[in-house]
């Protein structure tokens, strides 16, 4: 079964600085999808960024970027110029190949604190 | 993207009772999903609900405890039956996006006393 591991239960960053959240996963598939979701205290799950395994180029969305290392099964999230509104739980998630299970498998999450 | 709403947003219930959570989407979707997030934990898929067929449950979840309805392409309900304090969780519905991602509703926070 696929598993997703987030080894950092909590992280903190100073406003305007950069922080990297770690995620590793285990799968025997070659085609799959990876996501980072943000959950602020409002509990709404918000999609931050997505990465297709077949793409070598790392995904970027404004201040958010990923470092996708397929061979190492690593998928870290970098937040640049951190803002107070970035404070939230961040969950890494995995989905298997197109046409297979639609299930998202989530890591346990990393709580990010942004200090002013 | 689609707008997803859930009712109720939160509830406090007595043990032994049941609660039905509604999930409404403003567009037609094939697949809807129900997740549970226990306090301080990650999300776990309960079941996948397709319109016109019975829901598919994940290991550890059974229909008697979590019956699901999917009467049309914009609506689904999840019932938490015969509740115990261990059922206190956030329950979230989601839909598939076009890029294999899922989009989530705002969640229902359930507390069982």
Question: What are the pLDDT digits (tens) for B17-67?
Answer: 999 999 999 999 989 999 999 998 999 999 999 888 889 999 999 999 999
Average pLDDT taken over every residue of chain B: 94
Rg, C-alpha atoms of chain A: 14
Contact A45 B94 (CB under 8 A): yes
How far is it, in rounded angstroms, from Cα B4 to Cα B107? Answer: 10
The DSSP bridge partners found for residue A92 are A36
CB pairs under 8 A between A and B: 54
> What local confidence, expressed as pLDDT, does residue A42 receive?
84
- Residue B1, pLDDT > 90, answer no
> What local confidence, expressed as pLDDT, does residue B80 receive?
98
b/e per residue A9-36 (b: at least 16 CB within 10 A)? eebebeeeeebebbbbbebeeeebbbbb
- Residue B4, pLDDT > 90, answer yes
Residues of B in contact with A102 (CB under 8 A): 31, 33, 48, 96, 102
Query: Quick check: A17 and A82 in contact, CB under 8 A?
Result: yes
Residues of A in contact with B33 (CB under 8 A): 102-104
Q: Which of B45, B90, B99 comes nearest A104 by C-beta?
A: B45
Average pLDDT per consecutive 10 residues, chain A (116 residues; last block may be shorter): 92 97 95 96 92 94 97 97 97 91 93 97
**Testing the interface with B: which of A6, A59, A61, A103 to mutate, by most B Cβ within 10 A?**
A103
**Testing the interface with A: which of B6, B100, B108, B109 to mutate, by most A Cβ within 10 A?**
B100
Mean pLDDT of B58-86: 96
Mean pLDDT of B76-81: 97
Q: DSSP string of A9-67?
A: SEEEEETTS-EEE--EEE-S-SS-EEEEEEE-TT---EEEEEEETT--SPPEETTEEEE
User: Residue written as tokens 């829901």?
Assistant: B55
> What local confidence, expressed as pLDDT, does residue A61 receive?
95
> What local confidence, expressed as pLDDT, does residue B60 receive?
95
Contact B45 A103 (CB under 8 A): yes
Contact A45 B99 (CB under 8 A): no
Confidence of residue B14 (pLDDT cuts 50, 70, 90): very high
pLDDT in tens, A45-66: 999 999 999 998 999 999 999 9
């Amino acid at each position: 079964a696929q598993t997703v591991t987030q080894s950092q239960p909590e992280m903190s960053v100073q406003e305007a600085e950069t922080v990297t959240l770690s995620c590793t996963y285990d799968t025997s598939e070659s085609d799959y999808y990876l996501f980072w979701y943000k959950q602020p205290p409002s509990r709404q799950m918000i999609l931050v960024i997505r990465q297709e395994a077949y793409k070598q180029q790392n995904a970027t969305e404004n201040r958010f970027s990923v470092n996708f290392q397929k061979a190492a099964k690593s998928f870290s999230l970098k937040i640049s110029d951190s803002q107070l509104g970035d404070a939230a739980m961040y969950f890494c998630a995995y989905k298997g190949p197109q046409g297979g299970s639609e299930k998202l498998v989530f890591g346990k999450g990393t709580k990010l604190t942004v200090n002013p | 993207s689609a707008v997803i709403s859930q009712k109720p947003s939160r509830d406090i219930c007595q043990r032994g009772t049941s609660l039905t959570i509604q999930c409404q989407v403003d567009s037609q979707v094939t697949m809807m999903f129900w997740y549970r997030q226990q306090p301080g934990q990650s999300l776990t898929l309960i079941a996948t609900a397709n319109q016109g067929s019975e829901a598919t449950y994940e290991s550890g979840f059974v229909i008697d405890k979590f019956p699901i309805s999917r009467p049309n392409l914009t609506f689904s309900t999840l019932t938490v039956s015969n509740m115990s304090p261990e059922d206190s969780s956030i329950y979230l519905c989601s839909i598939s996006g076009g890029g294999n991602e899922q989009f989530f509703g705002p969640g229902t926070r359930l507390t069982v006393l």
